[in-house]
Structure 1
Amino acid sequence: MSTPRPWKLLRSQIAFKHRWYTLRRDEVELPNGHVVDDFFVSERPDGAYVFPLTEQNEVIFVRQYKHAAGKIFLELPAGSFFPTEEKAEDAAVRELVEETGAVTTQPLIPMAVIHDNPAKDTNRLHLFLAQNVRIEQKQVLDITEDIEVVPVPLDQVLPKILSGEICVSGSVCLCFLALRYLGQL
């Protein structure tokens, strides 16, 4: 059994470019010498997720339609950001306020930075826990957002994951990390 080795990048060209999505076509040489001339990579902004816990031990989730999947999902507040333009923690706080109208006076607690789909995507997900969160204002939604704020009792988060009601990968991962941090697992 051998140790995995990185691929050698021979050539890279942009197939499509937009501020929110770039599709790159790479030509790579595999460790076994085989050349793949059409390995496509999606360059996307990073994501910031927040697990917002209120003083009443409720987690503020959002329910919204996701067009690529064609379904409505229950998930944690989250959004995209460019790491060269904004800190992950600032993006998480911004998304929390925009999607839910909630704020916290305490610093966010970093839970992890994970890779969303490292086989094809470049983006990472930055996961945070926010405590003593309270809703203080109206949502600040953009034109594509129609979001319902859904408080969920902390002890109901795990059952909602296990039943499949919460099934967005970044939300599931952050829920498990936050529940473990809070001594709920």
Structure 2
Amino acid sequence: MNMDWKLLSSEYLFKDNWLTARKDKCLTPTGKIIEPYYVLEYNNWVNGVAIREDGQVIMIRQYRQGIGKTLLEIPGGTMDDTDPSPLFAMQREMLEETGYEFKEWVSLGSIAPNTASSNNFTHMFLATGGVKVKEQQLDHSEEIEVVVMPLEELQQLVLDNKIVHSLHTTCIFYALLHLGKMAMK
């Protein structure tokens, strides 16, 4: 059974570098008109679990205005329009936020942050063999502290629900599964 809606019209309500909001008018396969249906447009995002050559995990701590708290997270960010691929964007973000380059990269897949109202995807990565090559190069709005910890500590933080950013927690779980540090029951 086809459940896809048909887009009848779309109107932009707000456009900015970081947020675009539109109002859609849609037709369901059963003939219902859904109006208005609001969609937030964002660039795609990237995030990644970063592991140094010595096996320690590189985390970042930064303030998040959305929930008004300073959080421990994995590196990541918004893909720029000039980024040729998600991997390129992740390598750029990792270098900017941590100052590290990595020998190996594994794609952990892509997830949709909020399929009901957002149009973008988050591309997840595992980076290993990290070596610090330079100092951070942060955007004007970023204040990021680099935090290094054992992989087992990160695993426990996730299990204890101490990493609250859902996109980051998902990436961490996929990375731990890939590394054989987390088993499916």
Q: Same fold (TM over 0.5)?
A: yes
8 A Cα contact 1:46 1:83, kept in partner? no
1:22 and 2:13 are equivalent in the alignment = no
Separation of aligned partners in 2, 1:81 and 1:20:
11
Separation of aligned partners in 2, 1:65 and 1:56:
28
1:108 and 2:76 are equivalent in the alignment = no
Unpaired stretches in structure 2, ≥5 consecutive residues: none
Counterpart secondary structure, 1:158 = helix
Separation of aligned partners in 2, 1:152 and 1:119:
35
Partner of 1:178: 175
User: 1:31 pairs with 25, 29, 46, which one?
Assistant: 29
Task: Give the deviation of 1:136 after TM superposition.
Answer: 2.5
Partner of 2:137: 140
Question: Number of paired residues?
Answer: 182
Task: Give the deviation of 1:169 after TM superposition.
Answer: 1.3
Task: Give the deviation of 1:82 after TM superposition.
Answer: 4.0
The normalised TM-score by structure 1 is 0.92
Partner of 1:79: 77
8 A Cα contact 2:83 2:89, kept in partner? no
User: 1:92 pairs with 90, 93, 97, which one?
Assistant: 90
Separation of aligned partners in 1, 2:82 and 2:39:
20
Counterpart secondary structure, 1:16 = strand
Task: Give the deviation of 1:61 after TM superposition.
Answer: 0.6
- Mapping for residues 30-49 of structure 1, pairs under 5 Å: 30-49=28-47
8 A Cα contact 1:48 1:78, kept in partner? yes
Separation of aligned partners in 2, 1:165 and 1:58:
18
- Mapping for residues 150-169 of structure 1, pairs under 5 Å: 150-169=147-166
Counterpart secondary structure, 2:169 = helix
8 A Cα contact 2:104 2:129, kept in partner? no
Separation of aligned partners in 2, 1:178 and 1:99:
19
8 A Cα contact 2:47 2:123, kept in partner? yes
Separation of aligned partners in 2, 1:151 and 1:173:
20
The normalised TM-score by structure 2 is 0.92
How much identity, in percent, do the aligned residues show? 34
Q: Which moved more, 1:61-70 or 1:25-34?
A: 25-34
Separation of aligned partners in 2, 1:117 and 1:99:
25
Partner of 1:62: 60
Which aligned segments of 4 or more residues in structure 1 are displaced greater than 6 angstroms?
A: none
